Structure 1
Amino acid sequence: MSELTKMKIGEARDALRKGEVTSVELTEACLSAIDAADALGAFVHKTPDLALDMARAADAKRGPDAPSLNGIPLGIKDLFCTKGVASQAASKILDGFKPEYESTVTTQLFERGAVMLGKLNMDEFAMGSSNETSTYGNAVNPWRKGNSDEALTPGGSSGGSAAAVAADLCLGATGTDTGGSIRQPAAFTGITGIKPTYGRCSRWGIIAFASSLDQAGPMAKDVRDAAILLEAMCGHDPKDSTSADLAVPDFEAMLTGDIKGKTIGIPREYRMDGMPEEIETLWSQGADMLRDAGARIVDISLPHTRYALPAYYVIAPAEASSNLARYDGVRYGRRAKLAQGDGITEMYEKTRAEGFGPEVQRRVMVGTYVLSAGFYDAYYNRARKVRTLIKRDFEEVFADGVDAILTPATPSAAFPLGMEMDDPVQMYLNDVFTVTVNLAGLPGISVPAGTDATGLPLGLQLIGRPWEEGDLLNTAYALERASGFVAKPDRWW
């Protein structure tokens, strides 16, 4: 593998501006790495011709004043609509769909000179925690457990993005996070992923799962790269009614590493029964690292945390059942073959039965159930009230002077593919530390901070105040520097 693909975005940006490397050279190195890594199942729609055209255009305008992402090769999650390029949300029901428009986030990245290498694998419609519900097949974690050759999950739903960044197939990638789908795969693959405050990144042109929870964000090799990418992805968009009309700060410039006087909360409710000792130890070490960096560590309470998973798995499927009603075989995507005499009802039924995988069908059924006349108040309205209480917990903690909250990112290291697919509830428990952040609309970041006994990466999560991603990134930067995590997976693919 070329050393060029191992570059971080910040390093590549500086090298491109100085003329030490060209975007075409960087892009060709990434394309070669991608072609040699089919075993990872990360890239599902390769766009080499488009990538080289974009790279040549970037080289034509390079120089000291070029935009921050000019010539930087990125992977784009298959949930983002990309004009003229297949955008399927990893679902059979969108087979052959090539949008005539570009999502706002990818538009902003490309306006800043970024190069698209292709589309990345994911769980179908972003519903999953292991990247095993994709119509393309599984994405595979580039990390292995000790000397074992057992295939591990890269996490989900942004599993392809995580695997591609960790394996140095691209310099960074886009992800989306509805209940932890950036932070959990980042933790499983030893990279950095941030979910910004709800409304910070436009959702326009991103295929919807649960509209009040979905948020785009970057997946990168370190905190600085995440800051560079996030700044390009953020901004007000009049096409998205939930987009915040707020100025976007220079996140990279805020990375000083100085957190003296900051108050970091440790929520007692996140100490779950059965939590592996390695996770508990890493969490304690993370608190010590931040304390040594000058922060004040305090115990806090988020009393409604225990209700977060049940509330999430009512609200998210309810919104999904509504959003996914549009996939009916009429206007775009897959249409089932009909028997003679079949009418429009049969077309809907057959198309949706063929097009949606089992996990999507399960969540649509659950969502339809909790929204039905007899159960709306018992389930959906009650879950919305719980969500308000969870949000209030965070507001009270921040009002008491806490600047950020430190928690584990996941309840375990990456697990073997196939291990939890038979038990959906066990799979849902992977989101136990992350869903509260989506329910409250807060920013959260996962930073690799250590490894388990078998050498697999483990991540810590920092949760920040709304709209204060710069401050959160700086705290994460201090944690990153203190932990000194530099491990990379051994190449087996």
Structure 2
Amino acid sequence: MTPLEMSISELKQALTDRKLSASELADASYRRIAETDERVQAFLTLNEEGAREQASLTDGRIAQGEAVDILAGVPAGIKDNIVTEGLRTTCASRFLDNYKPIYDGTVSRKLRDAQVVTIGKLNMDEFAMGGSNENSAFKSTRNPWDLERVPGGSSGGSAAAVAAGQVSFALGSDTGGSIRQPASYCGVVGLKPTYGLVSRFGLVAFASSLDQIGPLTRSVEDAAHVLQAIAGYDKMDSTSADVSIPDYAEALTGDVKGLRIGVPKEYIGQGVDPKVKEAVLAALNVFESLGATWEEVSMPHTDYAVATYYLLASSEASSNLARFDGVRYGVRADNPDNLLQLYHESRSQGFGPEVKRRIMLGTYALSSGYYDAYYLKAQKVRTLIKQDFDEAFNQYDILLGPTAPTTAFRLGEQIDDPLAMYLNDILTIPVSLAGVPAISIPCGLADGLPVGLQLIGKAFQETTVLRAAHAFEQHTEYHKLRPQL
């Protein structure tokens, strides 16, 4: 086993016992990137000087016998829409090609405080808008399981880097499935926390009422450790929830006896690949053998989720992206004749096609005469979707289904069909609209490609979701499967 294949708790023990150093871990990460990233294309910016400096500081603290965090010395990647002081943050957009933040986002600061070694910034769909990583302005990340297939999006770089063994964990952001869907495609664990549990301060906004930061890891236990580090109230974020933070790792008891599981019939119906459905039903058999019970349940407003999401998310995006005007930061058009031309040319040159598409859709939905018909109605339907979850959770502890209806599709296969691309998120979007937590874990292979199992919980009940996911993981071997790069 190489150091980068070890779990976070195993790394902590090896570092504490002085069998391994943080500097050796950082070197191993950069060697792996040098060996594989020309093919995978996961990283946009490397942080070699800063990473080695942090690793050296951690080694010094351990040598002096200081107590260190469980994440100390662990190599990690950060999605490129989370600001990092002094380290280029582009959102995979030409607009921010030259942007170096002067401050850390809250999660970046928390990782720094935990002495995590930040290896670099990871590729994504531009401004987190996309489901395949093909909307990056710089490169298309490849799926380590099949380099001719997409890694998913928008956190495709984060999922691919973890799957390829380049880092021990990565941070991503999830607006409508952007952590869970790439986790499913790349055969890793991806956790979207409850909205408000993790601070959004320093996350470049796509859709403010939906965006949430979370970890991508190789095991559920690792996800629990990372969530422990980044969760908590933040006065810098007006949507941050002031709730007590439990010990997430302590919840991983392996015991799911008596757990009540609801399986939405809409999540395993038409459009779901038969092999994906087969893997999900096999997972239910595992839970049954562990003493859990399950029943089919209906989530009647699921069919409206995709339309609702794209109206709301695009509307919020059109508002949030208005700040990118070529005046204060980012790319500026050369020699404009007047202020309006500066705005027009800067935005025309800086934004890619998918971002422009969503700005146009959102601006239309918010415009006079259309607001009530589209945006307001979408908000009402969002409430109905949330009520579906509330009613289901009156009877069940978790809901279960596939993360995505299919395995990873081929590069270029859907890039010219936005509607087909949007429909890939049909099983993750309802969760985001309801603001509840969900995790994607590997549950098998279909034609040699990973299948993701999605477990959904009540708001702020990450402990239940993690406990169930961990129990499944302990009785299967799917999370140990690795792509052959």
TM-score (structure 1 length as normaliser): 0.96
**Match runs of 1:10-409 below 5 Å:** 10-36=9-35, 37-62=37-62, 63=65, 65-144=67-146, 151-339=148-336, 342-400=337-395, 402-409=396-403
1:147 corresponds to: none
Deviations 1:438-464 (A, max 9, x none): 100000000001001x21111100000
Distance 2:303 2:474 in 1: 32
* DSSP 3-state at the match of 1:370: helix
Distance 1:59 1:330 in 2: 43
Distance 2:299 2:16 in 1: 47
Kindly provide the amino acid, as one letter, of the partner of residue 355 in structure 1: G
1:8 corresponds to: 7
Deviation at 1:347, TM superposition (A): 0.3
Deviations 1:89-114 (A, max 9, x none): 00101110001000001111110110
Instruction: Report if aligned partners of 2:268, 2:402 keep a CA contact under 8 Å in 1.
Output: no
Q: How many residues align?
A: 481
Instruction: Report if aligned partners of 1:180, 1:435 keep a CA contact under 8 Å in 2.
Output: yes
1:418 aligned residue (403, 412, 420): 412
Deviation at 1:35, TM superposition (A): 1.9
CA shift in 2, pair 1:64/1:251, >3 Å: farther
Instruction: Report if aligned partners of 1:17, 1:64 keep a CA contact under 8 Å in 2.
Output: no
Deviations 1:142-184 (A, max 9, x none): 112xxxxx61100000000001000000000000000000000
Distance 1:139 1:124 in 2: 12
Distance 1:104 1:38 in 2: 31
The yes-or-no answer on 1:440 pairing with 2:434 is: yes
Distance 2:67 2:86 in 1: 30
Moved over 6 A (4+): none
Distance 1:195 1:93 in 2: 27
Deviation at 1:241, TM superposition (A): 0.6
The yes-or-no answer on 1:460 pairing with 2:462 is: no
Distance 2:286 2:262 in 1: 14
For structure 2, which runs of at least 5 residues remain unmatched after alignment? none
* DSSP 3-state at the match of 1:61: helix
Kindly provide the amino acid, as one letter, of the partner of residue 17 in structure 2: K
Deviation at 1:8, TM superposition (A): 2.2
* DSSP 3-state at the match of 2:316: helix
Kindly provide the amino acid, as one letter, of the partner of residue 366 in structure 1: L
Distance 1:369 1:403 in 2: 40
**Which is further off, 308-317 or 11-20?**
11-20
Distance 1:156 1:364 in 2: 19
1:482 aligned residue (448, 463, 475): 475
Distance 1:272 1:360 in 2: 31
Deviation at 1:394, TM superposition (A): 0.6
Distance 1:57 1:64 in 2: 11
Deviations 1:113-146 (A, max 9, x none): 10100000000000000000101110111112xx
Deviation at 1:17, TM superposition (A): 1.6
Instruction: Report if aligned partners of 1:71, 1:114 keep a CA contact under 8 Å in 2.
Output: yes
Deviation at 1:20, TM superposition (A): 1.2
Distance 2:271 2:476 in 1: 25
Q: Percent identity?
A: 48
Kindly provide the amino acid, as one letter, of the partner of residue 458 in structure 1: V
Kindly provide the amino acid, as one letter, of the partner of residue 107 in structure 1: R
Deviation at 1:64, TM superposition (A): 7.6
Distance 1:108 1:232 in 2: 7
For structure 1, which runs of at least 5 residues remain unmatched after alignment? 145-149
**Which is further off, 269-278 or 378-387?**
269-278
Kindly provide the amino acid, as one letter, of the partner of residue 431 in structure 1: D
Deviation at 1:215, TM superposition (A): 0.1
Distance 1:424 1:457 in 2: 24
Distance 2:48 2:268 in 1: 46
Kindly provide the amino acid, as one letter, of the partner of residue 456 in structure 1: L
Instruction: Report if aligned partners of 2:41, 2:142 keep a CA contact under 8 Å in 1.
Output: yes
Kindly provide the amino acid, as one letter, of the partner of residue 186 in structure 1: A
